[in-house]
Amino acid sequence: MEKKIAVIKGDGIGPEIVNEAQKVLDKVGEKFGHSFIYTEVLMGGIAIDKTGVPLPQETIDVCLSSDSVLLGAVGGPKWDTLPGNLRPEAGLLGIRGALKLFANIRPAKLIPALAGACPLKEEITKNGLDLVIVRELIGGAYFGKRSTTVDEKGVKTACDSMEYSDFEIERICRVAFEMAKKRRGKVHSVDKANVLDSSRLWREVAHKVKEDYPDIEYYDILVDNTAMQLVRNPAQFDVLVTENLFGDILSDEASMITGSLGMIPSASLGEGSLGLYEPIHGSAPDIAEQNKANPIAAILSVAMMLRYSFDMGSEADAIEKAVDEVLNDGYRTGDIMSEGCILVSCSEMGDLIAGRI
Ligand code: NAD
């Protein structure tokens, strides 16, 4: 099969980790008989330096005409003083909107070889931890009406409104139920229906969608309880689906209980098969251009791309298995290093994983 991939390397460690992800992808292509054709485009700080804007139109056009998009990370201190709409991060929001990516998928899985990095007690993690958060990405408070006003007495008031329409809730719930079908068959829909109108509509729509999936075990859960349960008994969760703001907070919490930032991939999906795949970490300017970064989150992002955009499940399994094997053999980048393990560079880690495909 031939697939066109738009590649946005970005800033800081972005180019280093994306190079390793492409190395692994090329090895998958070789072994499984696929050809991956890359088109490199600019976004973030490097785009500002070269074109004056964080997200050039050409980047959007190339991404839209590709089968998928691989992104490293953007941002860095050099661009921190620019106005909000011209900062590298504006590129991130812009590309999600331009590609109409409404679902963010973030797995949180405890890798046995790295169990020591998990901040939870062993009695909690002994039942495992393997869940996915499906977060609505282009609605809710981050995209609702907002205002900051000052009244005649000088009192300053700011307001953000959390708005959801039924169709937005329905499409994200369907993503979660479909995902649960391919996993352990359980969905928790997270809301704050005891307080918020938008959550009451969320719950109503989620219940309607659930009727189309009689084989899926379904639960409503309040967001505050979810935050507690994630650290008390994370093994109870398979797929969690929630709105934008709750999902932002819960997905960071879920990521942190697995250990290192350098290990966690993500996918952002829309209606079709085009998706944007990226590690959850940033551009790590403190270790950029030193060949020290952990490329595993980027490599696992590519595995998600194969699974969700290209329907190449066996190829994705091969990458995940290779990562597990290399970690089981004791190889570590600096961020996940522990006693008795073998320290390797970013490119050595890429070579080791590609070598196991
Ligand atoms: P960060 O994730 O870049 O780094 C936090 C810490 O984790 C640093 O010590 C870093 O060295 C370490 N780290 C992160 N990824 C690593 C990896 N793969 N291997 C080894 N160590 C790793 O977060 P930050 O320092 O808050 O942000 C730096 C820049 O990245 C900022 O400009 C921020 O806006 C941007 N950012 C971008 C994205 C994105 O592109 N999606 C996400 C978050 C932050």
Residue-wise pLDDT for 13-35, tens only, equals 999 999 999 999 999 999 999 99
Residue 183 and residue 80: Cα distance in Å, rounded? 41
pLDDT at 97: 87
pLDDT for the residue numbered 323? 96
pLDDT grade for 295, boundaries at 50, 70 and 90: very high
As given in the structure block, the two tokens for residue 332 are 């570590």
Element housing 221 (H / E): strand 217-222
84 — pLDDT class (breaks 50, 70, 90)? confident
What is the per-residue pLDDT across 125-138, written as a single tens digit (0 to 9) for each? Answer: 887 789 999 999 98
Given the CA of residue 284, which atom of ligand 1 is nearest to it? 3
pLDDT at site 61 = 97
3-state secondary structure of 194: coil
Main-chain dihedrals φ then ψ at residue 7, nearest 5 degrees: -115, 120
Q: What is the pLDDT of residue 256?
A: 83
Q: DSSP code of 185? A: S
Residue 134 CA to ligand 1 centre (angstroms): 22
- Find all residues with CB under 8 Å of 22, minimum gap 6, and list them: 7, 36, 38, 70
**Predicted pLDDT at 107:** 92
Return the residue whose CA atom lies nearest to atom 22 of ligand 1. Answer: 262
Residue 222 in contact with residue 190, Cβ under 8 Å?
A: yes
Query: Is there a catalytic annotation at residue 224?
Result: yes
Residues in Cβ contact with 291 at an 8 Å cutoff, skipping those fewer than 6 apart: 16, 345, 346, 347
The alpha carbon of 55 and the centre of ligand 1 are apart by a number of angstroms equal to 20
**pLDDT given at position 59:** 98
Place of tokens 């109870």: 236
Mean pLDDT, the chain, as a whole number? 94
For ligand 1, the distance from its centroid to the CA atom of residue 282, given in whole angstroms, is 3
Task: Give the span between the Cα atoms of 50 and 13, in whole angstroms.
Answer: 18
Known catalytic residue: 121? no
pLDDT value at position 328?
A: 92
Atom of ligand 1 at shortest range from CA of 72? 40
Which segments within the chain are labelled E, that is strand?
Answer: 2-10, 35-40, 68-73, 103-109, 130-136, 146-150, 156-160, 186-191, 217-222, 239-242, 265-269, 275-279, 331-332, 342-343
Residues with CB under 6 A from ligand 1: 13, 17, 73-76, 89, 92, 261-262, 278, 281-287, 293-294, 297, 335
Alpha carbon 49 to its chain's center: 26
How far is the centre of ligand 1, averaged over its atoms, from the C-alpha of 32 (Å)? 33
Residue to substitute in 8, 276, 281, 291 for testing ligand 1 pocket (most ligand atoms within 8 angstroms of CB): 281
Gap between the Cα atoms of 324 and 96, Å rounded: 31
Q: Looking at 224, 286, 311, 317, which residue is catalytic?
A: 224
pLDDT cut 90: percent of the chain above it: 83
Distance from the alpha carbon of residue 86 to the mean position of ligand 1, in angstroms: 19
pLDDT at position 261 is 79
Tell me the mean pLDDT in the region 207-212.
Answer: 98
Mean pLDDT of 55-73: 97
Determine whether 142 is an active site residue.
Answer: yes
Instruction: Flag whether pLDDT at 260 surpasses 80.
Output: no
pLDDT at 274 over 90: yes
pLDDT score recorded for residue 122: 86
Ligand 1 nearest atom to the CA of residue 76, by list position: 32
